[in-house]
């Protein structure tokens, strides 16, 4: 009987240690569930699963919130197409359907952002490049033709 309780105690200590490591990792910078899994892939799978579930319940790991925060950061700091934003968040291991849902729910804001982003790039490249070169560049970056055309129309 004593052996079983000692084993449980050791397991609890291991879980606490892992939770501390995970907490430190996710508090330094918001992380996706996939990032946490990758970082701690060498840990005991069951303990990692328990830790992730615990932090999901506590709200520390929330991929939907991560998408929202990441999109807002990208929109505030950079000129990207919706496709580029999608790709960058996908690289963090977030399920594509979560990203698509967010983009669908915020379609108008996202389109508006993509158009203004395209305008900023057009302004920057206008001095050195022809319209066709700029359009090709924007298409290559994943901008929708609708956004590119609206941006160019607004510029004239």
- Please tell me the distance from the alpha carbon of residue 98 to that of residue 101, in angstroms, as a whole number: 5
| Statement: the pTM of the whole predicted model exceeds 0.95 | no
57-114 pLDDT, tens digit per residue, is: 999 999 999 999 999 999 999 999 999 999 999 999 999 999 999 999 999 999 999 9
Residues 124, 108 contacting (CB under 8 angstroms): no
28-41 pLDDT, tens digit per residue, is: 999 999 999 999 99
List the domain boundaries for the chain: 2-60, 64-155
61 or 8, which is more confident: 61
Sorting pLDDT into bands at 50, 70 and 90, what band is 4? low
Residue 3 has pLDDT above 80, yes or no: no
Residue 6 has pLDDT above 70, yes or no: yes
Task: Say how far residue 104 (Cα) sits from the centre of its chain.
Answer: 16
- Interhelix angle 82-90/107-125, rounded to 10 degrees, is 110
- Interhelix angle 96-105/63-77, rounded to 10 degrees, is 60
Q: Count the Cβ atoms, other than its own, within 10 Å of residue 25.
A: 14
Q: What is the pLDDT of residue 2?
A: 55
């Amino acid at each position: 009987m004593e052996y079983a309780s000692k084993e449980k105690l050791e397991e609890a200590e291991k879980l606490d240690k892992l939770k501390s490591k995970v907490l430190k990792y996710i508090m330094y910078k918001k992380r996706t569930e996939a990032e946490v899994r990758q970082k701690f892939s060498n840990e005991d799978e069951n303990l990692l699963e328990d830790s992730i579930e615990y932090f999901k319940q506590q709200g520390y790991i929330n991929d939907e919130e991560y998408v929202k925060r990441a999109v807002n950061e990208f929109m505030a700091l950079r000129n990207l197409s919706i496709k580029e934003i999608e790709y960058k968040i996908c690289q963090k291991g977030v399920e594509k359907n979560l990203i698509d849902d967010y983009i669908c729910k915020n379609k108008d804001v996202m389109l508006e952002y993509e158009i203004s982003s395209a305008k900023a790039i057009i302004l920057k490249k206008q001095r050195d490049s022809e319209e066709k070169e700029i359009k090709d560049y924007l298409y290559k970056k994943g901008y929708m033709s609708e956004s590119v055309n609206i941006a160019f129309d607004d510029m004239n």
